[in-house]
């Protein structure tokens, strides 16, 4: 992320972290809500098994007592049919979906087929009781006795399938939570590493800036920074300033050296002229001309010396200016 700015890096990391946390929490809440509905379905499936036994017990009891009180048996039949319908097709009022897998749906269909015959025989049993049809009672009793365990077995299979289905979902939820926790941990570690890297680049920049502030003005060197966009831009600005200062210092130094060399050459010429004058015999007229030339040379030498002093003053002013800039940075 070195090509991004510090603010962009922090915003991206924060947005990704918050999004990940929001997604994990939302999915966990949704799956937990589904678990609550699954518990309701398991209760309904478990109750279906109990109702088959209740219907059969009522038939056995009424067969023995010859009673015509069908209230409890009718309630059990109505409740069983309602529960079977909920397991098959779901219930919007309870927010229960229909059979979640093909295997469960097929098993419910098989129970419906067995229950259809079982219910018909229950109605025949009531008819036989009311009409005192002993033969009919015996036939229904025999049917219930033979098929009760079969109906109970198939209903119990539905309960087992729902239980396995819910256990698989719980396993998935746990796996999802573990993976999510691992992902968030890795992402958080990555975010910490990125932030530490930004901090390291900032420390490096300020340390080089501090070294630059304390360095001799004749030894200024460009700053080399490899980091976020802001640090690179600040380093480039500082390097531009350093290059300009170095350029001015080089120019002033060269000018000073050139003026010093010119002054030295003029001194050598003066010495040579003096030697020549000493060797001349008739120099009355010549001396006048030479004096004029010598005056011109001396004047030029003095001008060069003044120029040299001015250049020295310029260099001193530049040194003061740079020191002032360093103290204000």
Is residue 12 scored above 70 in pLDDT?
yes
Q: Are 152 and 52 in contact (CB under 8 A)?
A: yes
- Same domain (yes/no): 181, 223: no
- Comparing 276 with 62, the larger pLDDT belongs to 62
- State the pLDDT at residue 17: 76
Q: What is the pLDDT confidence band of residue 216, given thresholds at 50, 70 and 90?
A: low
Contact partners, residue 112, CB within 8 Å, separation at least 6 = 84, 88
Average pLDDT taken over every residue of the chain: 75
- If you search the block for the tokens 């001309």, which residue do you land on? 289
- Comparing 27 with 214, the larger pLDDT belongs to 27
Percentage of the chain exceeding pLDDT 90? 11
Q: Are 31 and 173 in contact (CB under 8 A)?
A: yes
Output the domain CATH number for residue 13.
1.20.120.1730
Q: Is residue 211 part of a domain?
A: no
Q: Is residue 148 part of a domain?
A: yes
Q: Is residue 205 part of a domain?
A: no
Percentage of the chain exceeding pLDDT 70? 59
Phi, psi at 91, each rounded to 5°:
-150, 115
Terminal C-alpha separation, the chain: 29
- Same domain (yes/no): 38, 187: yes
CB pairs under 8 A, 24+ apart, for 168-173? 169/31, 169/34, 169/35, 169/38, 170/35, 172/31, 173/28, 173/31, 173/32, 173/35
Range of the domain at 79: 6-199
Predicted TM-score (pTM) of the model is 0.54
Count: domains in the chain = 2
């Amino acid at each position: 992320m070195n090509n991004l700015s510090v603010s962009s890096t922090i915003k991206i990391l924060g947005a990704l972290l918050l999004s990940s946390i929001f997604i994990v929490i939302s999915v966990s809440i949704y799956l937990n809500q589904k678990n609550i509905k699954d518990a309701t379905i398991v209760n309904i499936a478990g109750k279906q098994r109990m109702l088959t036994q209740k219907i059969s017990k009522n038939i056995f009891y009424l067969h023995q007592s010859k009673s015509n009180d069908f209230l409890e048996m009718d309630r059990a039949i109505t409740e069983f049919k309602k529960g079977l319908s909920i397991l098959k097709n779901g219930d919007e009022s309870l927010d229960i979906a229909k059979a979640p897998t093909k295997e469960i749906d097929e098993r419910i269909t098989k129970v419906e087929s067995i229950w259809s015959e079982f219910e018909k025989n229950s109605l025949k049993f009531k008819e036989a009781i009311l009409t005192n049809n002993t033969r009919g009672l015996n036939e229904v009793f025999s049917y219930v006795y033979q098929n009760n365990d079969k109906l109970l077995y198939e209903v119990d299979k539905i309960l087992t399938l729902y239980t396995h289905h819910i256990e698989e979902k719980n396993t998935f939820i746990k796996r999802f939570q573990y993976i999510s926790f691992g992902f968030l941990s890795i992402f958080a570690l990555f975010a910490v590493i990125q932030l530490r890297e930004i901090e390291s680049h900032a420390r490096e920049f300020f340390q080089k800036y501090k070294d630059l502030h304390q360095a001799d003005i004749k030894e200024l060197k460009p700053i080399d920074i490899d980091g976020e966009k802001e640090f690179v831009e600040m380093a480039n600005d500082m390097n531009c300033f350093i290059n300009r200062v170095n350029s001015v210092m080089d120019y002033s130094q060269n000018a000073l050296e050139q003026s010093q060399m010119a002054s030295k050459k003029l001194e050598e010429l003066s010495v040579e002229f003096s030697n020549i004058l000493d060797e001349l015999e008739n120099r009355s007229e010549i001396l006048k001309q030479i004096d004029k030339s010598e005056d011109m040379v001396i004047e030029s030498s003095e001008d060069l010396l003044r120029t040299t002093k001015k250049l020295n003053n310029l260099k001193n002013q530049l040194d003061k200016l740079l020191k002032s800039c360093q103290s204000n940075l």
